[in-house]
Amino acid sequence: MNPYSILISKSLNIRVEQAEAVIELLDAGATIPFISRYRKEATGNLNEVQVAAVSDLYERLKELRKRKETILKTIDGQGKLTDELCQRIETSWDATEIEDIYMPFKPRRRTRAQVAREQGLEPLAKIIMNQKEHYPDMAAQRFVKGDIKDIGQAIKGAQDIIAEGISLNEGTRQAVRHNFQREATIVSRVIMKMKDEDKAQKYSDYFAFSEELRRCSSHRLLAMRRGETEGVLRVTITGDDEGNIERLKRHYVHGFGPCQTLVAEAVEDSYKRLIEPSIENEFAALSKEKADDEAIRVFKENLRQLLLAAPLGQKRVMGVDPGIRTGCKVVVLDAQGNLLYHTVVFAVGGHGDSKSSMSRLSKAEEQFSDIARKWRVDAIACGNGTASRETADILRQIDGIPTYVVSEDGASIYSTSEVAREEFPNEDVTVRGAVSIGRRLMDPLAELVKIDPKSIGVGQYQHDVDQTKLKHSLDQTVELCVNAVGVNVNTASKNLLTYVSGLGPVLAQNIIDYRRENGPFTSRAQLKRVPRLGPTAFQQCAGFLRIPGAKNPLDASAVHPESYAIVEHIAKDCGCTVADLIRNADQRKKVNINKYVSASVGLPTLTDIMKELEKPGRDPRGKVETFEFDPRVRKPEDLVPMMELPGVVTNITNFGAFVDIGVHQDGLIHISQLADKFVHDPNDIVKLHQHVRVKVLEVDNRRHRIALTMKGVPQR
């Protein structure tokens, strides 16, 4: 059995057999989507989130194993590795405990204690620490020689040795750490000399802030740390220093006398100079890591909701990137997202009297209508940036063509990217941006995979958290979303194919090249002809790649090729073809799946197969809806307390949800204002891009804040 299985089982509250199965599959090269979708019998029906948790913990344990090997090698190199010490390190899987054990052996720069040892003062330190000598000055007199000029210097050096020994003691550090866990406070104070008061004002809540560290939420901690980085705040973590020192004295000082006084002084020095700064740094790092994990969790959930947003589908779309001075960039895309036409329409802004403005609006409406009619546009995608409200109002005047407002976040990043340059080498960035807006309406997932997830604008403090951990989590989220939806192998871009289970950039490009040279794939079996796409890669990717219109209808479904024989067996027993089985619900109702259970195929797989036959290749995403803001409001000054308005959820945090109400500044629904009940997680109440109705509570124009509520507001 893998040594990590028991640890993972206990940590994640799953059976040892489940952990063992996932580890074996991961070591064999299986991906998280493949394991969770096609190996349910082996894993005991673990879902993708649970499989991902096993994978992440497995990687952390392997890293800890490497760290332990390094520590053992270092201690052994010093000739100090005993059997007991080796056993303690080998059996521990607590990173903090392992580092505490290692600390006395850890190579350090030259310390005061090390200098004192070199001066021969260690025996004196032992005499004082023993606390039986009644005349420590007389004992110290024997050590006044060489670099030691007097008794005071000898005693001070001995105290330095004692202080360092106390600070390196594992039990001492654990005791102080335990007290910090219960009593530590995070304190934030404003730095008086600030160059930019406007920048500082957004941190005004933390100018004089204090809270128990264990109760400090992740968003508050990250906000304070950002303020500290920007030079606005000074943030410290403090424990009960007096209480900790007294507890340590009770432990190390025995009775009364001159030696006891010297030991008490060494204890206090050890705590203030060595222990407290070290533990404070440790708790600062741990609290930051915890806050990072929470922020990343929120970001992942927002990204997942955004990627799985409802697609319009394969329709001919007009994409409009609104603008004032430079006009609106307009593109027309065919049903496959190919660029057919682009131009610029000046719809809003400029100078002149009301008569000329009306003339310009009328002309813009006519231009938009002509483009839509000439190119037989089915829908319009309007970016939600500058002049979005005004432009969308004009576009909605075009009869019979729905207008959808689409998030522009990240479109500018895409337009200057290498991906965009490859797709449109002869077009400028404005055209590429408008194309991205149009494609986002057609298929958000397919377009957003081209953009760094951090640039999509659905997280908070994404630049403040651990970037390596953030990238891993977001890439994993994108991978799970892409494979949950499935990919049309004949139309997917390289970026989309890259995230398909078992592929990656090289195989994705090889599929594109094969498609270009040989035409569309007509069967999944054809994938085996793609260069470097071997049996393992085929097994991992085949079930997630779709071929609509293929001769075998299962090639357009999520049924894996390894299960085709099962479906054919079921169809044969029903006296029909596979296509008939898919079309005829009555035929499927007659199937007793228990009859087909075998050593290699269990009920989970058979249940999934029957669900898939109901709607082969079904898209798990919903349907896109149109939305209009309240015409009464266009800027924050138009808002009045208690006014009810429609809005769109643009971002979700662990303290509430931000909502676009059409005034070019999102309002915040604090978590306490989301519902007439206690809300633990805002995601339980709202989802990203959900259409909601809100009520205005307060408008603070100085701090650019709008407070909203959903309490008592009927939702349609």
Digit-coded pLDDT (tens) for 682-693: 999 999 889 999
- Tell me if 654 sits within 8 A of 217, measured CB to CB: yes
Q: Looking at residue 570, what DSSP letter applies?
A: H
Q: How far apart are the first and last CA of the chain?
A: 55
CA-to-CA dists, residue 694 to 630, 659, 711, angstroms: 11, 9, 8
Who's near 619: CB < 8 A, 6+ residues apart?
Answer: 311, 485, 486
**At residue 344, what is the residue type?**
V
Average pLDDT, the chain: 91
Q: Which residue has the higher pLDDT, 453 or 690?
A: 690
E strand map for 152-295: 185-190, 208-212, 233-238
State whether residue 704 is helix, strand or coil.
coil
Return the number of other C-beta atoms located less than 10 Å from residue 467's C-beta: 12
- Please, what is the Cα angle at 627 between 624 and 632, to 5 degrees? 175
Domains and CATH numbers, the chain: 3-103 (1.10.10.650), 112-299 (1.10.3500.10), 317-442 (3.30.420.140), 636-709 (2.40.50.140)
Segment holding 483, helix H or strand E: helix 467-485
pLDDT of residue 463: 79
- For residue range 664-712, list pLDDT tens digits in order: 889 999 999 999 999 999 999 999 889 999 999 999 888 789 999 999 9
Does residue 195 surpass a pLDDT of 60?
A: no
Instruction: Report, as an integer, the average pLDDT of 519-535.
Output: 95
Tokens of 158: 């001995």
* pLDDT for the residue numbered 107: 87
**Dihedral of the CA atoms 542, 51, 44, 34 (nearest 10)?**
0
Is residue 358 over pLDDT 90? no
**β-bridge partners, 644:** 695
Tokens read off for 86: 């080796």
* Conformational region of residue 575, where left means phi above 0, alpha means psi within -120 to 50, and beta covers everything else: left
CA distance 164 to 271: 10
* 357 or 613: which leads in pLDDT: 613
**Beta bridge partners of residue 649, listed in sequence order:** 659
Give Cα 257 distance to the centre of its chain: 58
Range 532-548 average pLDDT: 96
Q: Residue 541: helix, strand or coil by DSSP?
A: helix
Q: Other C-beta atoms within 10 Å of 478: how many? A: 22
Radius of gyration of the chain (CA): 33
pLDDT number for residue 98: 95
Stretch 585-592: mean pLDDT:
89
Rounded to whole angstroms, how far apart are CA atoms 227 and 219?
12
Prediction pTM value = 0.86
pLDDT at residue 12 greater than cutoff 90: yes
The contacts of residue 421 (CB under 8 Å, 6+ apart) are: none
Cβ–Cβ < 8 Å for 569, 576: no
Above 90 in pLDDT, residue 535?
Answer: yes
User: Lowest-pLDDT range, 160-164, 171-175, 323-327?
Assistant: 323-327
> For the segment 201-245, what is each residue's pLDDT rounded down to a tens digit?
788 889 999 999 999 988 899 999 999 988 889 999 999 999 999
Q: Angle at Cα 643 formed by Cα 638 and Cα 648, nearest 5°?
A: 85
How far apart are alpha carbons 565 and 39 in whole angstroms?
17
pLDDT score for 626: 86
Q: Which H helix or E strand runs over 627?
A: none
CA atoms of 371 and 366, how far apart (whole Å): 9
> What pLDDT, on the 0 to 100 scale, is given for residue 357?
60
Which residues on adjacent β-strands are paired with residue 211? 186
Predicted confidence (pLDDT) per residue in 627-641, tens digit: 889 999 988 999 999
- The model's confidence at residue 590, banded by pLDDT at 50, 70 and 90, is confident
- If pLDDT is split at 50, 70 and 90, which confidence band does 196 have? low
Quickly state the pLDDT bin for 507 (edges 50, 70, 90).
Answer: very high
User: Do 371 and 398 form a contact (C-beta atoms < 8 A)?
Assistant: no
> In angstroms, how far is CA 39 from the centroid of its own chain?
26
> Which tokens in the block code for residue 81?
């590795």
Q: What is the mean pLDDT of residues 84-101?
A: 94
Helix, strand, coil share (%) of the chain residues, nearest 5:
55, 10, 35
What percentage of the chain carries pLDDT values higher than 70? Answer: 97
Q: In the chain, count H helices and then E strands.
A: 31, 15
Whole-number Å distance between alpha carbons of 478 and 493: 15
User: How many whole angstroms separate alpha carbon 453 and alpha carbon 475?
Assistant: 8
CB burial class (10 A; 0-12, 13-18, 19+) of residue 389?
Answer: buried
Q: With 90 as the cut, is the pLDDT of residue 144 above it?
A: yes
pLDDT of residue 62: 95
| SS3 state of residue 635 | coil
Length of the chain: 716
- Predicted pLDDT of residue 58: 96
Give the number of other Cβ atoms within 10 Å of residue 715's Cβ: 11
The pLDDT-based confidence of 103 (bands split at 50, 70, 90) is: very high
Q: Give the pLDDT of residue 361.
A: 74
Provide mean pLDDT across the span 567-592: 91
Which amino acid is located at 532 in the chain? R
